[in-house]
Chain A
Amino acid sequence: MNFFSKLQSREKLFLSIMIFLVITVAIYSFFSKHLYQSSISKTKLEDTYSDYKYVLNRYRQIEKSINSKLNSDKSKLSASLETFLLSKSIQIFSIKEDNNDLVIDLESKNLSSLTNIINELNSKYDLPIKKINFYRNNDLIKLEIVVD
């Protein structure tokens, strides 16, 4: 500070301009560098997300292909469906075979959770579904899925 006060006014002006320019260039370099890095990261994120969606979609297809082999064996299919449905927040009323069909009875308090279960089953299993019936049972809604 003492050094600065001893300088001539034109030297002070020159030094101030130089300091200002150095700081401006430093801030610009810092900002542009990180902006560039951010732009690269964004592109990479978009690519990775696109890859993830593609891989996930292919995985579901593979999973469905593997599970489609269960259609020929109703008891194995029944066990697999029970394992899957137990992981969901709905009540399994029964899963039983009836005249070579597999009848799945489920219960829930709302319709939307039951429709979600049907869509999830559809994406995971290649089920030849014949019928889907909803019945109101007092406060609960009962879902019956008949698989051929």
Chain B
Amino acid sequence: MNYYIAHNINLDSDFLELYESSSGKFKKVVIDDLIDLLETDSTFIYLLPCSKYSSYKYNYDNSLTNTVNEINFISNIEDIVVSDISSQKIYFNKNEAYIIDKNFIANLNTFLSNLKIIPFIIPEHTVIRDILGDIKIDLGDEIFLFNEGMPYRLLKNILKSNIEIQNLSNPDQSSSYKESLDKSFMVALIDKFDLYPNFFKFNFSLSSIKSHLRLSSAYISTFILSICLILLLPIIQTNVYERDITKYEDGINQIFKSLDKNIVQSAKPRKQIDLLADNFNMSQKNNLTIPNINFIERFGIEYIDSIEINVIESNANIYFSNIPSSQLNIFLTMSETFNISIINQEIDTSDNKSTGYITIII
């Protein structure tokens, strides 16, 4: 897996120092470039500058809930925090507590959630203290240092006008960031990055879910359309049924109208038609069913001279002439397939041509 570690060297600059584990190289990038730069499914570690959050010593009481610990922590620091505490997000880690602007961390989480990566947001001082110890780092315009275990980033311009802090953060005793935050530092961080506090929280939104599930717009549109269709299916089906009901009711109505124009159709059409039918003699004297003779067309109607159906004797004579014998044999063999019973046949065959007639039952 490829690892990326991003770090703000100078807060005033838009550039991030980005380390890539596969190449082992550093490069300066703008945050928006990360969308194209980061490899899919890689691990991205962002070292959050300590000036973006405040660190406090706080003994987390495991016997209490997180909410109660937050309340206790706020009551301890309320007097020293300048900004509105409700606009701050609180994190606990071991014997430290961190407060960070809610909007800032939310925007960062939203941005990273939309990337196809595994992100970590780690407060920088926890890593520096663990790997490099109590160190002063020259970041160019700023100095990073620890004072009583708490991290600070101080502008060099301010240092010159404040002797008290100047003694504390003598730039001569600091090492440059290129020496301190070098490749060996990054390799050490990659080995145990999951041991540090992680401020990242996945931001559930349509775009982030879409990005992580690799869903295309076409797929989502099809999915939504399918759901809508499933929901609308009973309505469509009901309309189709209602249309057919109207069609059949109209048909029934027309039948009644054709029998009597003045008739009013009742709710019970069966009973009504039965009452009408009682006025007629319904006995069927003649009921003829024509046998299935359409199959003859398939065998060649051009060889058939005539078909005589005798209704009284319930049989039919089929006369043919000069039909190829092979064709006639197929017909005679397959006659049972067409439910045709041959009871008599008179056939003369010469030169593979047959002439004569067959009698079938109808």
Chain A: residues with CB nearer than 8 A to chain B? 27, 30-31, 34-35, 37-38, 41-42, 44-45, 48-49, 51-52, 54-56, 58-59, 61-62, 64-66, 68, 110-112, 115, 118-119, 122, 126-136, 141
Given contacts A37-B234, A41-B238, A58-B273, 17 further A-B contacts (CB under 8 A): A34-B235, A35-B234, A38-B241, A41-B242, A41-B245, A49-B248, A56-B251, A58-B277, A111-B293, A111-B294, A122-B287, A122-B288, A128-B286, A131-B309, A132-B311, A133-B308, A134-B306
Name the distance in Å between B249's Cβ and chain A's nearest Cβ: 6
Among B247-290, those with CB < 8 Å from A are 248-249, 251-252, 255-256, 258-259, 269-270, 273-274, 276-277, 280-282, 284-290
B130 within 8 A of A: no
CB–CB B245/A64 < 8 A: no
CB–CB B248/A51 < 8 A: yes
- Chief secondary structure at chain A's binding surface: helix
B37 within 8 A of A: no
User: In the docked arrangement, what's the CA distance between A59 and B255, Å?
Assistant: 7
CB–CB B259/A129 < 8 A: no
User: In the docked arrangement, what's the CA distance between A131 and B288, Å?
Assistant: 11
- Name the one of A30, A38, A115, A132 contacting B294, with C-beta atoms under 8 angstroms: A115
User: In the docked arrangement, what's the CA distance between A129 and B288, Å?
Assistant: 8
Name the distance in Å between B84's Cβ and chain A's nearest Cβ: 12
CB–CB A132/B255 < 8 A: no
The total number of A-B Cβ pairs within 8 Å is 134
User: In the docked arrangement, what's the CA distance between A111 and B300, Å?
Assistant: 11
- Name the one of A37, A55, A61, A129 contacting B311, with C-beta atoms under 8 angstroms: A129
Given contacts A68-B285, A129-B288, A130-B312, contact A62 B270 (CB under 8 A): no
Tally of B interface residues using CB under 8 Å: 48
CB–CB A130/B273 < 8 A: no
CB–CB B307/A134 < 8 A: yes
CB–CB A27/B309 < 8 A: no
B167 within 8 A of A: no
CB–CB A37/B231 < 8 A: no
- Name the one of B241, B259, B270, B305 contacting A54, with C-beta atoms under 8 angstroms: B270
List 22 A-B residue pairs with CB atoms under 8 Å apart, sorted by A's residue number.
Answer: A34-B238, A41-B241, A45-B248, A48-B248, A49-B248, A51-B270, A55-B270, A56-B255, A61-B284, A62-B259, A64-B284, A118-B290, A119-B289, A119-B290, A122-B287, A126-B286, A129-B288, A130-B312, A133-B308, A133-B309, A135-B305, A136-B306
User: In the docked arrangement, what's the CA distance between A31 and B231, Å?
Assistant: 6
> Whose C-beta in chain A lies nearest to the C-beta of B89?
A9
CB–CB B290/A115 < 8 A: yes
Among the interface residues B248, B277, B302, which one has the most CB atoms of the partner chain A within 10 A?
B248
Name the distance in Å between B277's Cβ and chain A's nearest Cβ: 5
> Whose C-beta in chain B lies nearest to the C-beta of A126?
B286
- Name the one of B241, B276, B309, B312 contacting A62, with C-beta atoms under 8 angstroms: B276
CB–CB B306/A130 < 8 A: no
Residues from chain B with Cβ under 8 Å of A115 in the complex: 290, 293-294
- Chief secondary structure at chain B's binding surface: helix
> Whose C-beta in chain B lies nearest to the C-beta of A41?
B241
User: In the docked arrangement, what's the CA distance between A35 and B234, Å?
Assistant: 5
User: In the docked arrangement, what's the CA distance between A62 and B272, Å?
Assistant: 13
CB–CB B245/A62 < 8 A: no
CB–CB B248/A37 < 8 A: no
The 10 closest A-B pairs by CB, nearest first: A41-B241, A34-B234, A132-B309, A134-B307, A65-B280, A52-B248, A38-B234, A58-B273, A38-B238, A48-B248
Residues from chain B with Cβ under 8 Å of A44 in the complex: 241, 245
B351 within 8 A of A: no
> Whose C-beta in chain B lies nearest to the C-beta of A127?
B286
User: In the docked arrangement, what's the CA distance between A136 and B238, Å?
Assistant: 52
User: In the docked arrangement, what's the CA distance between A135 and B309, Å?
Assistant: 11
User: In the docked arrangement, what's the CA distance between A119 and B309, Å?
Assistant: 14
Residues from chain B with Cβ under 8 Å of A34 in the complex: 234-235, 238
Name the distance in Å between B294's Cβ and chain A's nearest Cβ: 5
CB–CB B294/A52 < 8 A: no
Among the interface residues A38, A42, A112, which one has the most CB atoms of the partner chain B within 10 A?
A38
Residues from chain A with Cβ under 8 Å of B234 in the complex: 31, 34-35, 37-38
Q: Could you mark each residue 295-307 of chain B with 1 if its beta carbon is under 8 Å from any beta carbon of chain A, else 0?
A: 0110001101111
